[in-house]
Chain A
């Protein structure tokens, strides 16, 4: 199987998926170098025989966590605290840029 490799194009796609801006070519080169070094980790993990093993998703014994179905309203004070932290707001809403753009 082909080894994992981060190409220029792949980095661009990955950065878009992560919604992470890459500043300039210098930063891009640094990412490519470091990330391709990290690809060695993926190769190492192809070594062992794990054909009979299931992936670990939890280290706890899976169990249901039950609680009574009681609505606990968010105290006004907490609402206010949360809105204080908003970079931009209008009334009791977070304000964001237009989501749907004209193509």
Chain B
């Protein structure tokens, strides 16, 4: 059976009917990986033997009708999630040989639900970047145009799902790292409300922004995974104490009727690629036709987003990366002549330039002399942004924008800094956001739109996105390569 085009839901239906086994589905993923991965380079490592063994166990459970919520479903995992006994490198030389001593909370939850891990996917080193070019190991390509970036930092996961090597994947999102590459690769990418999903066992970037999220081909598939991986975990102190919530509830009949959609006035202030502007306009029309009310919202503080993000993220990076000292795990330089020298050389020799630059900037903005003017000031401007977004939510239910204002660029070129500010605001304010593919550009590159909801309103976010997905007119059967 041909399975690479199946969504998670379709795959599970075939499992239940007995028309398809997990072993077969997993084998097909590896067949596709063998054919496509040498060109796209989404995976840093595959785990075929372990996956096939897990798939066979899942098949037995499916047969006995004792399977979990994702029993037998293949999933790709970004290289910053710990899977016990396996390497997690965060695409850094510092962690090149690091073997995870325990499972991340979401990995524990996925194992219990029966998901089958295909392998670890490429990313920007420690998730620092928006193109996956900062990986210490490989340059991942956009499956729709191999000369262009897949976006990032979760570019490996996004391109793996976009090129149908995996039906779904896990990623992490600190400043759009799931939702931007999802748009570039033509898949659904979701970042939850801050605190909805535990980050225990995930390599931290900026802790007040970081969230775990997903890639898949449908909103319902996304909701399915999120129902499994969300929920309380005392090991991540900001994790909300929720019991099980079924986020797929009500998605089939979801409607946009009477939903108030806010369009930021500030969208007009930034250059937007023509293909994106057209696709976005069309998407708005479709939403309107479904009975949603479109209004303009005013959030002038969007203009501070790049600066806010850089200052606060780098500050948190400098604190988080301080744990990489070459003492307990990771790379230790053989060239150190004292303890301090050993720390300094271990980092200098094993970390990439982008990471080191961020550490230095973060150390600077937290320095006693600069703290008030830099970090403290940024956190106050962050309050300004949050207040303006809250004000906007008094008038609307969701904020709707393109997922990126720019199409993916060629390797070595940079995106305009404002291209992702509308999705980055989600991290600054702790809000849930989802990218849904909406159209193909005239050059056959996918384009995504983005819904941003109120904090902890993830269930309604899924409903709006699912209702839009039905009328988006995006051809999900189109294959890259």
Interface residues of chain A, those whose CB is within 8 Å of chain B, are 1, 4, 6, 10-11, 14-23, 30-31, 34-35, 38, 40-42, 44-48, 50, 53-60, 65, 67, 78, 81-82, 84-88, 94, 96-99, 101
Contacts and interface: CB of A to CB of B under 8 A. Distances in A.
Considering the complex of A and B, which 6 residue pairs feature the smallest CB-CB distances, nearest first? A59-B430, A55-B379, A81-B101, A87-B332, A21-B348, A85-B329
Interface in B434-478: 455
**A contact patch SS:** loop
B208 A59 contact: yes
A35 B360 contact: yes
B339 A97 contact: yes
Contacts of A47: 304
Contact of A48 (B301, B327, B329, B386): B301
A91 to B, nearest CB: 15
Contact of A55 (B306, B326, B382): B382
Interface in B331-350: 331-332, 336, 338-345, 347-349
Interface in B191-235: 194-195, 208, 234
A100 to B, nearest CB: 9
B261 interface: no
A31 B311 contact: no
Nearest to B102: A78
B370 A44 contact: no
Contacts of A94: 327-328
Contact of B238 (A56, A60, A82, A85): A60
B112 interface: no
Contacts of A23: 348
Nearest to B354: A34
A84 to B, nearest CB: 7
A16 B348 CA distance: 12
Interface of B: 84-85, 98-99, 101-102, 194-195, 208, 234, 237-238, 240-241, 301, 304, 306-308, 310-311, 318, 322, 325-332, 336, 338-345, 347-349, 353, 356-357, 359-361, 363-365, 367, 370, 373-374, 376-384, 386-387, 429-430, 455
Contact of B373 (A4, A15, A38): A4
Nearest to B375: A55
27 contacts: A4-B373, A10-B364, A14-B364, A17-B367, A18-B322, A18-B363, A20-B344, A21-B344, A21-B348, A21-B349, A31-B360, A41-B306, A41-B311, A42-B373, A45-B378, A45-B381, A50-B380, A54-B380, A59-B194, A60-B194, A60-B195, A60-B240, A65-B237, A87-B327, A94-B328, A96-B327, A97-B342
Contacts of B386: 56, 59
A4 B365 CA distance: 10
B99 A42 contact: no
B83 to A, nearest CB: 13
A44 B359 CA distance: 21
Contacts of B304: 44-45, 47-48
B101 A97 contact: no
Looking at B343, B345, B381, B429, the one whose CB has the most chain A CB atoms below 10 A away is B381
Given A58-B208, A87-B331, 19 more contacts: A15-B344, A18-B322, A18-B360, A20-B360, A21-B344, A30-B353, A31-B357, A41-B307, A44-B307, A45-B381, A57-B208, A59-B194, A60-B430, A65-B241, A86-B329, A87-B332, A88-B332, A96-B327, A97-B342
Contacts of A86: 327-329
Contacts of B338: 97-98, 101
A21 B337 CA distance: 12
Contact of B360 (A14, A54, A65): A14
Nearest to B387: A53
Contacts of B310: 38, 41
A98 to B, nearest CB: 7
B423 to A, nearest CB: 16
Contacts of A40: 307
